[in-house]
């Protein structure tokens, strides 16, 4: 792309990082979307696009890009993300007086089939936090206790796996400390309550961990003392899934779904669950009401003599 457009996009990324506080992965994805569109324009026009070319954008050009991406085999969710990246960049340039984003109003995003989260049952989720379930494995006891502590945080606090592994040693849940501050998507912080059972599981790991836990270092360590990889927890959950005979949908993130679904089933308020999960929009949390309703209907159809 031309230097004037490249410089404007550097300012756009800086804006997203500092003011919108988007994660590095989201920033990279958005920038990749815009560069792919720039490459599409360059292929069509024969010259790298500049700000003047962006100002001349028409809906047909955006549709052509989306059709090209679809022909390349990408799915609706990826195409929606492509469009979100372009929309963000064009609206930023419009606010800067450098472009016209009106072409976006004529573009409809692709339809995405909604799939409901698949939570783990409360009984299975509790059993997954028991290190004795994997006692037969040829692994050091502290490793099994560590994995159980991470799983306890995923289910007991509704954390994402990145949030659990991002906890610093100085912030480790401990008896008498009933809350935990976590850093979620976009580096946004939120406070979540910690059950005594979860704090006890984490402290069992802290006592057994053979590596020194520096206060400003990661709480959870790998076998060689470095930060624990999310892949290790994913593999641990796979083994737990096999031991309990659970379906493939029983992933670390499914434990977060379970946290929300079980709270809702026990009368938790939707707005409170939104805050606990760190969702920016209530509409994201509302999907759990559909999960709860679908489970009630399934139970009704299975039990009612006329169903």
Which residues have a catalytic role annotated?
160, 185, 253, 256, 279, 288
Q: Write the secondary structure of 220-288 as one string of H (helix), E (strand) and C (coil).
A: CECCCCCECCHHHHHHHHHHHHHHHCCCCCCCHHHHHHHHHHHHHHCCCCHHHHHHHHCCCCHHHHCHH
Q: For helices 196-208 and 141-157, what crossing angle results, to 10°?
A: 160
**Segment holding 84, helix H or strand E:** helix 76-95
Question: How far is 3 from 35, CA to CA, in rounded Å?
Answer: 13
Question: How far is 212 from 107, CA to CA, in rounded Å?
Answer: 55
Residue 112 tokens, joined: 């995405």
Phi and psi at 31, nearest 5°, equal -65, -40
* Residue whose pair of structure tokens reads 């050091």 in the numeric block: 140
């Amino acid at each position: 792309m031309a230097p004037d457009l490249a410089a404007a996009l550097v300012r756009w990324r800086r804006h997203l990082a500092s003011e919108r506080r988007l994660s590095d992965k989201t920033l990279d994805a958005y920038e990749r979307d815009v560069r792919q569109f720039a490459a599409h324009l360059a292929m069509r026009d024969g010259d790298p696009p500049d700000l003047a070319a962006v100002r001349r954008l028409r809906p047909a050009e955006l549709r052509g890009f989306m059709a090209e991406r679809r022909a390349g085999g990408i799915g609706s969710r990826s195409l929606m993300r492509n469009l979100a990246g372009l929309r963000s960049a064009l609206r930023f340039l419009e606010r800067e007086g450098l472009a016209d984003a009106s072409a976006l109003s004529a573009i409809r995003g692709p339809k995405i089939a909604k799939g409901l989260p698949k939570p783990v049952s409360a009984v299975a989720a509790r059993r997954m936090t028991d290190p004795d379930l994997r006692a037969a494995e040829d692994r050091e006891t502290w490793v099994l206790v560590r994995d159980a502590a991470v799983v306890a945080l995923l289910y007991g606090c509704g954390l994402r796996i990145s949030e659990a592994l991002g906890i610093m040693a100085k912030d480790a849940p401990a008896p008498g400390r009933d809350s935990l501050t976590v850093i979620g998507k976009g580096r946004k912080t939120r406070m979540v309550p910690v059950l005594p059972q979860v704090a006890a599981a984490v402290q069992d790991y802290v006592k057994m961990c053979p590596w020194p836990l520096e206060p400003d270092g990661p709480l959870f360590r790998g076998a060689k003392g470095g930060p624990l990889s999310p892949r290790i927890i994913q593999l641990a959950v796979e083994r737990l899934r096999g031991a309990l005979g659970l379906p493939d949908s029983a992933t670390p993130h499914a434990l977060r779904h379970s946290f929300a679904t079980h709270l809702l089933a026990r009368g938790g308020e939707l707005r409170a669950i939104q805050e606990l999960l760190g969702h920016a929009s209530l509409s994201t949390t509302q999907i759990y009401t559909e999960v709860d309703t679908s489970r009630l209907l399934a139970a009704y159809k299975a039990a009612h003599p006329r169903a």
